[in-house]
Amino acid sequence: MILKKRNGGTLQKEEIDFLVSGFMDNSIPDYQISALLMAICLKGLDRKETADLTMSIVNSGDIIDLSEIPGVKVDKHSTGGVGDKISLIVIPLVASLGIPVAKISGRGLGHTGGTIDKLESIEGFKAKLNRKEFISNVKKCGMAITGQSEDIAPADRKLYALRDVTATIDSIPLISSSIMSKKIASGAEGIVLDIKVGTGAFMKSLSDALELARVMINIGKELNKKIVAVITDMNQPLGHEIGNANEVKEAVKVLSGEGPEDVTAIALTIASYMAILGGASNNFKNAYKILKDTISSGIALNKFKELIIMQNGNPSFIDNFSLLPQAKYHIDIKSNFKGFVEKIDAEKIGIAAMMLGAGRKKKDDLIDYAAGITIAKKVGDEININETLCTLHTNKSNYNESAKLVLDSYTFKNEPCNKNKYIYDIIQ
């Protein structure tokens, strides 16, 4: 089978099932799977092979059965970025339309944040629900969010660990099957993918992001799932807040109608396609308007409060942000240039936030919920010498390396420049 793929042949479903099950029961050693992964990186997988690999990974563990929940169950997935708090916003937005949202999310690693970490910055919030609690909450309130169970797509974790040490991470069929296996095992019928592209994203080029979108939509077609992909910008951090408590605060601002334009536009776009997949609207313009109205009426924010209370959190912070974790040090990073912000390297900002305590280098690292960065100046903004570019928040007394990295992430020019696009494309 390794030889067959190395020579550009096509693997049959039975062969893929044999390889995945053999890897899981250790009857096929790591070195042979490593060789196969490299062959896939070099020769690729066709549409059916990618779908078959996805289902083999799904079948390596539990599949959540959401059939007892009425309605079309929808979900969304982000490929990861800096300042990405979109899930916190779209869950209550979509649930407020009566569409069930059963969301399984991950933790942050490296320069990208995790939704579960953000929610755990809220006092008392219970982010790990058992299967019964998860389904009960969705039936009762139309929404629930929980961390990923060890029983969901275990082959993905084992394959990813091997890919990580064998230079086989950046294969679009392997990335696609990894993402889609977890979403399909989670039981959703309609999925909106937020595919980030740019310096702070896994996909650095628009062409790669579009290819990833097409491959994942093809997997959906093969497996009878409705998929929409929204290609969004990650050439600078999303919004103004990076870090766990910081991003919860900004999500509340968006749900209150006072959030940044980029976060609001992307959240409403993703929520609109979730609403269409869930049957609440038959066109984007109508869905967008309905969702905007749920924000202006206060319904969406009340739904977010309901989510927090339902999962044992204290919602008092919504009216008093000082109840969220607070950092000891707040350091303003000043500009040494007069002109305009041309670029911000989102990855450098994400790494700086991680070094301040907001993220993890390794899975078992502890994070500081109060740590993060507030961006004052974004691409296209005018800047004067000694004006604040951003503010670092940390409980660490040694923040010099982070401060230097943040300053290095900014590029300036003398002439006015265009702001970044928020959304590059929608693939259906």
Radius of gyration of the chain (CA): 22
CA atoms of 22 and 11, how far apart (whole Å): 15
Whole-angstrom distance between the N-terminal and C-terminal Cα of the chain?
Answer: 34
Beta strand ranges found along 51-189 (DSSP E): 74-78, 101-105, 143-147
Please list, in sequence order, all residues whose beta carbon lies within 8 angstroms of the beta carbon of residue 59, skipping any fewer than 6 positions away. Answer: 17
Of 121, 149, 177, 178, which is the active-site residue?
Answer: 178
Sign of CA dihedral 389, 395, 397, 398: negative
Q: Give catalytic status of residue 413 as yes or no.
A: no
178 part of the active site? yes
* Strand duo 382-383 + 101-105: pairing: unpaired
CA angle 248, 77, 134 (to 5 degrees): 75
Give yes or no: 43 in active site. no
Instruction: Give the single-character DSSP code of 96.
Output: T
Element holding 246 (H helix, E strand): helix 244-255
Residue 96: both structure tokens together: 């407020």
Q: Which is the catalytic residue, given 85, 182, 225, 360?
A: 182
> Nearest to residue 184, comparing CAs of 193, 195, 194?
193
Q: Is 77 a residue of the active site?
A: yes
Is residue 163 annotated as part of the catalytic site, yes or no?
yes
What is the Cβ-side half-sphere exposure of residue 76, based on CA atoms within 13 angstroms?
36
Q: Given the residues 163, 226, 249, 393, select the one marked as catalytic.
A: 163
Which residue from 183, 179, 182 is spatially nearest to 209, judged by alpha carbons? 179
- Of the candidates 5, 76, 77, 226, the residue annotated as catalytic is 77
The interaxial angle of helices 86-95 and 284-296, nearest 10 deg, is 100
E-strand stretches of 81-142: 101-105
- Which of 52, 75, 117, 156 is catalytic? The answer is 156
> CA 180, 182, 187: angle at the middle one, nearest 5?
95
Say how far apart CA 41 and CA 171 lie, in whole Å: 5
The residues assigned a catalytic role are 77, 156, 163, 178, 182
